[in-house]
Structure 1
Amino acid sequence: MAFSVCGFLTRTRLSALLALSLAAGAVQAQYPGQTKEKTAVAVRAPIQAYSFNLQDVRVLSSPFKDNMDREGRWLLSLPAERLLHSFRVNAGLLTDKKASPTKMPKPLGGWEALDMELRGHSMGHILSGLAFQFASTGNEAFKLKSDSLIAGLAQVQKALNEGGYLSAYPQNYIDRNIAGTSVWAPWYTLHKIFAGLTDAYWYTGNPQALEVEKGMASWAYQKLSPLTQEQLAKMLRNEFGGMNDAFYNLYSITGDPQHRKLAEMFYHKAVLEPLEQGQDKLNTMHANTVIPKLVGEARAYELTGDLKAQKATTFFWDDVVKHHTYAHGGNSDKEHFFEPDKISEHLTGNTGETCNTYNMLKLTRHLFTWNPEAKYADYYEQALYNHILGQQDPKTGMVSYFSPMLPGAYRLYSTPTESFWCCVGSGFESHSKYGEAIYYHGAKDLYVNLFIPSELNWQERGVKVVQNTKYPEEETTRLTIQTKKPVDMPLHLRYPAWATHGVTLKVNGKTVAVKQQPGSYITVSRNWKNGDQVELTYPMALRVIATPDNPRKAAFAYGPIILAGEMGTEGMSGTAPYHDPADPYQYYGYDYHVPADLVHTLATKGGTVTDWLKPVPGHPLTFTTTAATGAGGITMVPYYKAHRERYVVYWDLQ
């Protein structure tokens, strides 16, 4: 997206606060993915599996919890005065010539600088991140900060006095977009603000967030309703994020037909019609411009029953996952889709824009609720463990934009206040909502999709489930049922497609025969009693993941985990912090100066993967190569741990 965008509460205290939020009119809904909570608009699509709200799931000690805590500290460290600065400048609220310059807040840098046309986009992501952190942890500091930012935005909206318009840039950016003249992506930025306000309303119960958002929608309706179809088509050529998704979500809360009409105005015929017809015309399209449109279409199907929207989204997901996805679950090269299956031709330093995966996971959650197939949970695991988890530098908490597949490249990280790329924004969300897809439920049944240490509180059924595991560093996960009285609850346990060496299932210590195959669900139906335990063991094995267009270029995985060869730090100019304030786009096309003699070839000589890679005793998920050409043994570690050094994911096989 460089040139085209892309103090803890007790559970009782938190529950009381959420109840007050509901009484104030807030809808505690899990976004994305349908929940059973009532909204103003009845869902018309058949929902087979429901999301749990984030406050019902607590992520326990794990790399995910570590990431979430680091992200939370970053969110709380950003001063509200600096976050609001560009909005206040735009509204003329910081023009007092008598004010001391030393008392003026310093503007944020990078993509939030006052001369950047995308300024303001991070505010929306931050509101969402704060809302997710509050729901996920119960830490009231996140709600207090969110409330403060929303109050500041309301003040800006009032000062602008432009029919509800709210942004960090002048309204003429929208006029330029409508006219088809050059401007970065103003609707993209507004989408983030709309979405952030919705999340703040849903998860923190702030009614002011909804009022501000409804004011923005009123302005948008007055702005767009006079436009012809031709004018709208011209406007939609520029990236607009998921404006359709934002307006459908607002419509679900308010039931206001104007909000549905606004969502329909962002139907991009040129992109969506081929997908409705089952055609892949994605080559050269800017990936993170396209994916959010499908998330919006998924919401359209849920709220309107439009079968064309269903077809477009399901075809798109299957097509992207099967034909446009790297081993780590990400997609795109230089932010764009390329010809289907041409993975080996696109192993560059600009692969795997993280925003794309963030949005693909949103779409995946929608599709799973319609049709709870294991393939959706398998992809979610692939992308979450390998791409999203690995985005964050565990030393600094900063995040990467791309996940380079170029042999010998390395991750480049953001800075606390001077970058704010799109992937920084989506990272505020991704690392704050790890509890969203571990569990789903039907009327009586429970799905366990991810093996992440966590505690589920299913209040409707009076059941708690505690999951303990060190997965993926161990092959076993353990579920303990807590209930005051026996409960009939069919338990669907994901049997991952990669688990081709079978499974061992024990209930209360007794082995249970499993007839299902990998890529499905194991169902255990019984009346569960307090203290009942389930133990699942999926033996992990090495796998070769060849590129579809060249079997001699391949990545390696151990169970669900993609491995990366550690290649040292020779010639690196520094991995963190990374940013040149004079050139905020420098990341795009960055030269990694890969040493000419860097090894990325394995002399396999027709053997099997266990001949080439040997486990390192005492070090889980760690292997050593035995067949590297021109080098001794190379250590292979999980890709999500390959930080601050060069690495190789895709190897040439001889």
Structure 2
Amino acid sequence: MKKLLIIYVLVSPFVINAQSHYPGQHADKFTVPDQLKPAVYSFDLKDIKLLNSRFRDNMVREQQWLLRISTQSLLHSFYTNAGMYDANEGGYDEIKKYAGWESLDCELRGHSTGHILSGLALMYAATGDEVYKLKGDTIIAALAAVQQTLNQDGYLSAFPQEFINRNIRGEKVWAPWYTLHKILAGILDQYLYCSNRQALSVAKGFSAWAFKKLQLLTQQQRAVMLRNEFGGINETFYNLYAITGNRNDQWLGDFFYDNRMLDPLKNGIDNLKGTHANTYIPKLLGVMRDYEIENKAGQDTITKFFWQTVVDHHSFATGSNSDREHFFEPDAISQHLTGYTGESCNVYNMLKLTRHLYIHSGDVKYADYYEKALFNHILGQQDPATGMIAYFLPMLPGAHKVYSTPDSSFWCCVGTGFENHAKYGEGIYYHTNDALFINLFIPSTLNWEEKKFKLIQQTKFPENGNMSFTVDEAPVSPITINIRYPSWVKADVEISINGKSLKIKQPPGSYIAINRSWKKDDRIELRYPMQLHIVPANDNPSIAAIAYGPVILAGEMGTGSFSGREPYSDPTKHNDYITYNYTVPGNIDTTFTLDAKKIDNYIQPLQGRPLTFKIVNENIIVKPLYDVHHERYVVYWRLKK
């Protein structure tokens, strides 16, 4: 393989745009503007900088892993598929081959390249550091060469087209369109966040191939093909249509509308039971993008019903869902406390969907859920010791988190992990023309360049509910600062500006709105009292999780019968993640007496250890689930009165 050297002219990718859902994109990159007017707009990722916190620590570890990954190893399956290795140069044998879901015998090979392209683009947007852009440029140049060498009407993949043909014929194959979605999404992110025009050219070529191939299918062939998992490729084709204005791209988005799964939602039917959750959720992301672009009546009803159904009837206290990757019957949480609950990809996609719904409405309930799932699932799925990622968040009492390996796993949740920890900034702040909305309490700075307004958020949340917001640069005109007043706050709130107390009229589950002409160094100080409470299973009130404010606490259960760091028993076996044996010791007892109305008598804080408590009569230590690593734990307890 010959090395390619491509020089790019850097164009700033950080112009605020009308396409409100995608920080870091140019407004002028979109030919087709959204017809739906959002209630609030997001900021560009470059406008938010994380300060020291657990979130920033996760982000730094993710940066290190992104840069450690060998580009040659990542791309070897693409080159192999295109026959681009020169045996005389010995290049093929010299390159380390990645294992797990990127091995040459895995039918999902190539999906991680797409996720990594997205992760690199997001990191560049968030940090402005050229190293992420340059690595992305290198991968895009290589993929363009693969696409050209394949010479198959624009087809690009690490596997042959025969996988697609098998899918069309209804033969067994592991989700080829799912993999192609990840690749295409990563390529588009390189264009949208990094202004890489070669990426757009590659994406257009890929779309031309897809249109040529799929327009020939009968409705029966289409129905058979759509029964296989295809990720959110409908969303990506709609995004491409918004960029190009090419009606063929829109046709492709429409082509992947799954009537069988989505039409029942129009009639308020919960048809989730038994469906593969990470197959289902991304379908709604495509519906959302079509709705935003075309403003078609009724599509928001489908998505709102789906979201509410998942959150109210199919989710654990952590905001996560599914058992063995599948939705189960509604209101049956206590019957599914297994070692394979809470697939991380599902939460990634639910947060994306939540973000769309919040931008449409400005409804604080979406921000409340976003906080729950981000703090209780996403934050704790990265191993602080290694930076590796957990596939599941087990609810099985006595289970433990099991992490990926640097070069032998590459599960789907590893892929979404490359994105999760790069984009923490996108959920903290939103705005309208004359108002700021603060949704998440994460130490950070905001630069609202359009308004000449800078804000510093300082907090140790959720260690405590104290936070401050300092104006670092004051806007010329008055601005309303809206601070989320979470639903979990039960006691009186204290708030002051420059030391002067304010009276709060709003109830929990709303926003505290402060309108004034701001001056530099104005300081808002806020205290949200945090309390212990229980979160009962939705089918059995005697089985419950323990929470402190929004944070789910887990009981420490030691490290008996496991080393604490082993991967699933054989990561080269592509489905072995679903058969892992947790070998839970038989002496783990999850039953204790508790009066929920007097919970402070039963569970008490440990002095000198923030967010750490003791179940008094049981001598059990509980702490945030996101801080439990390399040890067994319990989330749901059997409570006696």
- Post-superposition CA distance 1:395-448 (Å, at most 9, x none): 000010000000000000000010000000000000111001100011111100
In structure 2, what is the Cα distance between the partners aligned to 1:599 and 1:32?
Answer: 47
Tell me the distance in 2 between the aligned counterparts of 1:112 and 1:582.
9
Instruction: Find the residue that maps to 2:461 and give its secondary structure.
Output: coil
> Matched residues in 1 for 2:305 and 2:218: separation?
30
The offset of 1:486, in angstroms, is 3.3
TM-superposed deviation, 1:226:
1.3
Q: Distance in 2 between matches of 1:500 and 1:568?
A: 33
How much has 1:179 moved relative to structure 2? 1.0
- Asked if residue 143 in structure 1 is aligned to residue 133 in structure 2, the reply is yes
- Structure 2 vs 1, CA of residues 532 and 36 (structure 1 numbering), >3 Å: closer, same or farther? farther
Structure 1 residues 503-527: Cα deviation after superposition (integer angstroms, max 9, x where no partner): 1111111111001111111111111
How do 1:335-346 residues align onto structure 2 when only pairs under 5 Å count? Answer: 335-346=325-336
Paired residue for 1:56? 47
Q: 2:59 matched to 1:73?
A: no
Query: 1:229 is matched with which residue?
Result: 219
**In structure 2, what is the equivalent of residue 91 of structure 1?**
82
Which position in structure 2 is the counterpart of 1:643? 629
| Residue of structure 2 aligned with 1:593, choices 560, 566, 583 | 583
TM-score (norm 2): 0.96
Please say if residues 564 and 642 of structure 1, whose CA atoms lie closer than 8 Å, have aligned partners that are also in contact.
yes
In the alignment, which residue of structure 1 is the partner of 2:323?
Answer: 333
Match of 1:652 in 2: 638
Matched, 1:220 2:210: yes
Q: Rate the CA distance shift 1:525–1:382 in 2: closer, same or farther, 3 A.
A: same
Q: CA RMSD in A?
A: 1.8
1:180 pairs with 144, 166, 170, which one?
170
Query: Is 1:171–2:157 an aligned residue pair?
Result: no
Of 222-231 and 448-457, more deviation after overlay is shown by 222-231
1:124–1:47: structure 2 CA closer, same or farther, 3 Å change rule?
Answer: same
Equivalent position SS for 1:587: helix
**Per-residue deviation, residues 192-219 of structure 1 (Å, max 9, x unmatched):** 0111011111111111111111110000
CA contact (8 A) 1:35 1:51 kept: no
What SS does structure 2 have at the residue aligned with 1:173? helix
**Alignment match of 1:287 (pick from 257, 272, 277):** 277
Give the aligned residue type for 1:493: I
Higher mean displacement: 40-49 or 169-178: 40-49
Distance 1:100 1:474, change over 3 A: same
- Following TM superposition, by how much is the alpha carbon of 1:279 offset from its aligned partner in structure 2, in angstroms? 1.1
Amino acid paired to 1:152: A
Q: CA deviation at 1:177?
A: 0.7
The aligned amino acid for 1:241 is G
Matching of residue 602 in structure 1 with residue 592 in structure 2: yes
- Of the structure 1 ranges 392-401 and 455-464, higher mean CA displacement relative to structure 2 is found in 455-464
Alignment correspondent of 2:561: 571
Q: Matched residue of 1:490: which SS?
A: strand
Query: Equivalences for 1:618-629 in 2 at 5 Å?
Result: 618-628=608-618
Q: 1:600 to 1:250 in 2, by over 3 A?
A: same
The Cα of 1:104 is off from its aligned counterpart by 2.6
2:17·2:25 contact (CA, 8 Å) conserved in 1? no
Normalised by the length of structure 1, the TM-score is: 0.94
Matches within 5 A, 1:474-485: 474-483=464-473, 485=475
Cα distance in 1 for residues equivalent to 2:471 and 2:595:
50
**2:97 is the counterpart of 1:111:** no
Structure 2 SS opposite 1:525: strand
- Cα deviation, 1:290-309, whole Å, max 9, x if unaligned, reads 00000111111100112232
408-417 or 526-535: bigger deviation: 526-535
Greater shift after overlay, 159-168 or 98-107? Answer: 98-107
Q: 1:485 to 1:220 in 2, by over 3 A?
A: closer
Work out whether residues 465 and 482 of structure 1, in 8 Å CA contact, stay in contact via their aligned partners in 2: yes
Give 3-state SS (helix, strand or coil) of 1:283's partner. coil
| Matching of residue 634 in structure 1 with residue 616 in structure 2 | no
Distance 1:62 1:22 in 2: 25
Question: How far off is 1:40 after superposition?
Answer: 1.1
The 1:485/1:641 distance shift into structure 2, 3 A limit, reads closer
CA contact (8 A) 1:34 1:47 kept: no
Q: How does 1:17-416 map to 2 (within 5 A)?
A: 17-19=10-12, 31-32=21-22, 37-38=27-28, 39-94=30-85, 96-100=86-90, 104-416=94-406
Instruction: Tell me how far 1:229 sits from its aligned partner.
Output: 1.8
Note if contact 1:405-1:650 (Cα within 8 Å) is conserved in structure 2: yes
**1:115 is paired with a residue of what secondary structure?**
coil
- The answer for unaligned runs of 5 or more in structure 1 is 1-15
> What's the CA shift string for 1:211-266, capped at 9, x where partnerless?
11111000000010111222111110000000110001111111111111100000
Structure 2 residue matching 1:555: 3-state secondary structure:
strand
What is the distance in 2 between the residues matched to 1:485 and 1:606? Answer: 47
Which residue matches 1:8?
none
Partner of 2:543: 553
Q: How many residues align?
A: 631
| Distance in 2 (alpha carbons) for counterparts of 1:416 and 1:533 | 44
Q: Helix, strand or coil: the match of 1:388? A: helix
* In structure 2, distance between residues paired with 1:175 and 1:511: 67
Report the equivalent of 1:616: 606
The letter for the 1-side match of 2:76 is: H
Cα deviation, residue 646, structure 1: 0.1
**In structure 1, distance between residues paired with 2:559 and 2:24:** 46
The answer to whether the Cα contact below 8 Å between 2:554 and 2:625 also exists between their aligned partners in 1 is yes
Counterpart in the other structure of 2:4: none
The 2-side partners of 1:495 and 1:443 are apart by 21
C-alpha separation in 2, matches of 1:213 and 1:27: 21
Residue by residue over 1:459-479, the C-alpha shift from the partner in whole angstroms, topping out at 9 and shown as x without a partner, is 111111111111111211111
Secondary structure (helix, strand or coil) at the match of 1:314 reads helix
- Does 2:431 align with 1:445? no
Percent of aligned positions that are identical: 52
Q: Structure 1 residues 627 and 307 mapped into 2: Cα distance closer, same or farther (>3 Å)?
A: farther
Secondary structure, aligned partner of 1:546: strand
Return the letter of the residue paired with 1:595.
P
Q: Which one-letter code corresponds to 1:479 in the other structure?
A: F
Describe the SS at the equivalent of 2:84: coil
Q: Report how far residue 531 of structure 1 moved.
A: 1.5
CA contact (8 A) 1:378 1:496 kept: yes
Question: Structure 2 regions of 5+ residues with no counterpart?
Answer: 1-8
Change (3 A) 1:614 1:547: same
Distance 1:534 1:102 in 2: 60
Q: After the TM superposition, which of the residue ranges 251-260 and 573-582 deviates more from structure 2?
A: 573-582
Deviation of 1:577 (Å): 4.6
